[in-house]
C-alpha cells in the first residue's frame, strides 16, 4: 500500500471515529449529566431547550451541515473541507467539556450548550461523506471495497471509545464525576482531533478530484446538479440506507430499554452484549469490505439484507428466552455479524452511483436523509409498536423485515458502477 493511500485511510478512519465518539458521548451525557447541570427541570424555558437540543438538532442540523460542506467539498476539494469539518467538531466538543453549568452562568449555560451542539452537528453532517471519499478516491479499483469499509468502522470504534471513556469516569465518586469527571472525555477528544488534523494536512487532494479539476467539470452549484441529473441515485441511496440504519438502532439502542424494562435483564448484561457485538463487527467490517472486492458490493449487500430479514423473528425469539447467554448470542449475530456486510459496502456503493463532480453532495444527501428518516426514528417506532400491541415483539420484527424490503427494492435499481457513472456523466455534460 502506497504511503499516501495509507495516510488517507488513517485520516478517514480517525475523522469518522471522532464523529461517532462525539455523537455517542453527547447522547449518553445528555441523560447522565446535562439534564442535571444544564437543564434543571424547574425552569420550563430550559426544559424546552433540552427537548430541542436532544431531538431537533441531530435530525435537522446534520443534513444541513451535509449540504453546506458537500457543496464546498465538490467545489474546492475533499481535503480542505475535511480539515474544516474536523476542526469544527473538535472545537465544539472541547468547549462543551469546558462550559460552565447552569448554577454558574444561568440561562446562558443551556443556550451555549445548544449552540455548540449546533456547530458540532454542522461539522458532523459534512464529515462522513468526505471521510468516505478520501478513502475511496485514493484507492485502486481493486481495493475500493476495502477502502470504503474502513470509514464505516468509525461508527463502532466511536461507540467503543465513548463507552470506555464514560465507564472509566463513572468509577469516580458520584460527586467528583458530576463536578469534573464528565468533562474529561470531551476535553480528551482534542488529542484525537489534533492527530487527525496533522495527518490530513499531510496528504494531497484525492487523485479523482484532481482529474475533475483538470477537466474543468467542477459543478457551479453541486446541489442543483445532483438534484437535476442524479436525483434517482439520491433516492436509491436513501432507500439503501434504511436497512443499514434502522436495524442498527434496534440491535444497539432499542435492545437496552427492551432488554431491561420488558425482559428483566440487568442493564450491565445488556450493555456488555452490545459491547461484545460492537467489538466483533469492528473486526468484521474491513473483512467484508475486502470480500466485496472479490464478489461485488451489490451481492454482499443483498446477502446481508436478506439475512437480516430472515433473522428478525429468530432474534426476538432468542431474546424472549431470557437467557443471558442467548441475549449475548442474539446481539452478536445481529449487530456483530449480519449487519457488518451491509454497512461495510454501503459507502462504496454510494460513491459508485454518483459522478465525481457531485459525488460529495450525492453520497451525503443519501446518507443523511436516510439516517434522519430511518435511523433516529427506529427506537421510537419500535417503542410505539410495543405499546400499541400489548408489548408484543412481533410488530417490531415485522418492522425490521419492512426496512429490509425497502432496501432490497432500492438496491434492485442500482446499475453496475461503470454504466451508472457513464450515463450520468453524459447527462451532466449535456
Q: 6-37, pLDDT tens digit by residue?
A: 878 888 888 888 878 887 787 677 767 877 78
Query: Do residues 294 and 281 both lie within one domain?
Result: yes
**Residue 424 falls within a domain, yes or no?**
no
Query: Do residues 243 and 147 both lie within one domain?
Result: no
pLDDT at 429 (0 to 100): 44
**Residue 190 falls within a domain, yes or no?**
yes
Q: Which residues have C-beta within 8 Å of that of residue 6, sequence separation ≥ 6? A: none
pLDDT at 49 over 60: no
What tens digit of pLDDT does each residue of 307-337 get? 999 999 999 999 999 899 999 999 999 999 9
Query: Do residues 374 and 386 both lie within one domain?
Result: yes
**Residue 70 falls within a domain, yes or no?**
yes
**Residue 422 falls within a domain, yes or no?**
no
pLDDT at 230 (0 to 100): 82
- Mean pLDDT over residues 53-67, rounded? 70
Cell 443551556 -> residue: 110
pLDDT at 351 over 60: yes
pLDDT at 400 (0 to 100): 96
Domain that holds residue 133: 1-216
**Residue 143 falls within a domain, yes or no?**
yes
Decide: 98 and 187 in contact? Cβ < 8 Å: yes
- Which of these three, 184, 201, 216, is where a domain ends? 216
pLDDT at 293 (0 to 100): 93
Per-residue pLDDT band for 44 (boundaries 50, 70, 90) equals low
- Which of these three, 201, 216, 231, is where a domain ends? 216
Query: Do residues 64 and 165 both lie within one domain?
Result: yes
Query: Do residues 202 and 223 both lie within one domain?
Result: no
Query: Do residues 261 and 120 both lie within one domain?
Result: no
Of 355 and 392, more confident: 392
Query: Do residues 209 and 262 both lie within one domain?
Result: no
Query: Do residues 104 and 250 both lie within one domain?
Result: no
Cα distance between residue 50 and residue 340, in whole Å: 34
Lowest mean pLDDT across 4-13, 47-56, 148-157: 47-56
- Mean pLDDT over residues 239-268, rounded? 88
Per-residue pLDDT band for 48 (boundaries 50, 70, 90) equals very low
pLDDT at 45 (0 to 100): 56
pLDDT at 42 (0 to 100): 58
- CATH (domain of 137): 1.20.1250.20
Neighbours of 425 (CB within 10 A): 15
Query: Do residues 183 and 260 both lie within one domain?
Result: no
What tens digit of pLDDT does each residue of 386-424 get? 888 998 999 999 999 999 999 999 999 987 654 444 444
What tens digit of pLDDT does each residue of 183-213 get? 999 998 888 888 888 877 777 777 777 777 7
pLDDT at 426 over 60: no
- Residue 330 is inside which H or E element, if any? helix 324-331
Query: Do residues 212 and 257 both lie within one domain?
Result: no
Query: Do residues 29 and 165 both lie within one domain?
Result: yes
- Which of these three, 216, 233, 263, is where a domain ends? 216
Query: Do residues 175 and 144 both lie within one domain?
Result: yes
**Residue 390 falls within a domain, yes or no?**
yes
**Residue 56 falls within a domain, yes or no?**
yes
Lowest mean pLDDT across 57-71, 161-175, 340-354, 358-372: 57-71
pTM passes above 0.85: no
What tens digit of pLDDT does each residue of 271-318 get? 889 889 999 999 999 999 999 999 999 999 999 999 999 999 999 999
For residue 369 the three cell numbers come to: 436523509
Total structural domains within the chain: 2
**Residue 295 falls within a domain, yes or no?**
yes
Q: For the chain, what is the mean pLDDT?
A: 84
Torsions phi, psi for 266 (to 5 deg): -65, 145
Question: 273 to each of 172, 296, 312, how far by Cα in Å?
Answer: 24, 31, 18
Tell me the DSSP string of 17-80. Answer: HHHHHHHHHHHHHIIIIIHHHTS-TT-HHHHHHHHIIIIIHHHHHHHHHHHHHHHHHHHH-HHH
pLDDT at 41 (0 to 100): 64
Secondary structure (3-state) at 104? helix
Cα distance between residue 163 and residue 25, in whole Å: 8
Per-residue pLDDT band for 174 (boundaries 50, 70, 90) equals confident
Amino acid at each position: 500500500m502506497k504511503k499516501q493511500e495509507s495516510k488517507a485511510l488513517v485520516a478517514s478512519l480517525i475523522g469518522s471515529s471522532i464523529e461517532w465518539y462525539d455523537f455517542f458521548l453527547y447522547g449518553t451525557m445528555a441523560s447522565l449529566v446535562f439534564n442535571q447541570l444544564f437543564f434543571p427541570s424547574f425552569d420550563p424555558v430550559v426544559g424546552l431547550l433540552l427537548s430541542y437540543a436532544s431531538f431537533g438538532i441531530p435530525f435537522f442540523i446534520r443534513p444541513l451541515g451535509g449540504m453546506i460542506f458537500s457543496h464546498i467539498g465538490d467545489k474546492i476539494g475533499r481535503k480542505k473541507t475535511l480539515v474544516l469539518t474536523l476542526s469544527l467538531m473538535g472545537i465544539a466538543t472541547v468547549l462543551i467539556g469546558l462550559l460552565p453549568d447552569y448554577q454558574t452562568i444561568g440561562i446562558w449555560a443551556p443556550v451555549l450548550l445548544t449552540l455548540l451542539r449546533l456547530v458540532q452537528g454542522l461539522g458532523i453532517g459534512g464529515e462522513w461523506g468526505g471521510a468516505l471519499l478520501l478513502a475511496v478516491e485514493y484507492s485502486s479499483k481493486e481495493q475500493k471495497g476495502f477502502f470504503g469499509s474502513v470509514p464505516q468502522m468509525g461508527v463502532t470504534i466511536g461507540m467503543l471509545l465513548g463507552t470506555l471513556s464514560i465507564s472509566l469516569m463513572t468509577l469516580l465518586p458520584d460527586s467528583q464525576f458530576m463536578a469534573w469527571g464528565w468533562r474529561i472525555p470531551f476535553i480528551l477528544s482534542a488529542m484525537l482531533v489534533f492527530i487527525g488534523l496533522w495527518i490530513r494536512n499531510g496528504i494531497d487532494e484525492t487523485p479523482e478530484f484532481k482529474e475533475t479539476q483538470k477537466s474543468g467539470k467542477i459543478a457551479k452549484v453541486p446541489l442543483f446538479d445532483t438534484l437535476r441529473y442524479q436525483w434517482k441515485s439520491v433516492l436509491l441511496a436513501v432507500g439503501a440506507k434504511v436497512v443499514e440504519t434502522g436495524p442498527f438502532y434496534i440491535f444497539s439502542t432499542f435492545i437496552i430499554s427492551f432488554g431491561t424494562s420488558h425482559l428483566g435483564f440487568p442493564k450491565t448484561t445488556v450493555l456488555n452484549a452490545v459491547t461484545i457485538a460492537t467489538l466483533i463487527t469492528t473486526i468484521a467490517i474491513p473483512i467484508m469490505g475486502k470480500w466485496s472486492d472479490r464478489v461485488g458490493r451489490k451481492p454482499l449487500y443483498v446477502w446481508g439484507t436478506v439475512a437480516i430479514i430472515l433473522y428478525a423473528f429468530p432474534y426476538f425469539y432468542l431474546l424472549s428466552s431470557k437467557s443471558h447467554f442467548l441475549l449475548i448470542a442474539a446481539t452478536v449475530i445481529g449487530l456483530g455479524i449480519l449487519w457488518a456486510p451491509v454497512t461495510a459496502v454501503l459507502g462504496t456503493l454510494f460513491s459508485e452511483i454518483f459522478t465525481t463532480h457531485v459525488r460529495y453532495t450525492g453520497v451525503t444527501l443519501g446518507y443523511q436523509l436516510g439516517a434522519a428518516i430511518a435511523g433516529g426514528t427506529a427506537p421510537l417506532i419500535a417503542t410505539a409498536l410495543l405499546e400499541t400491541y400489548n408489548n408484543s415483539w412481533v410488530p417490531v420484527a415485522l418492522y425490521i423485515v419492512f426496512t429490509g424490503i425497502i432496501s432490497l427494492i432500492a438496491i434492485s435499481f442500482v446499475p453496475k458502477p461503470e454504466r451508472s457513472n457513464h450515463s450520468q456523466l453524459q447527462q451532466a455534460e449535456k
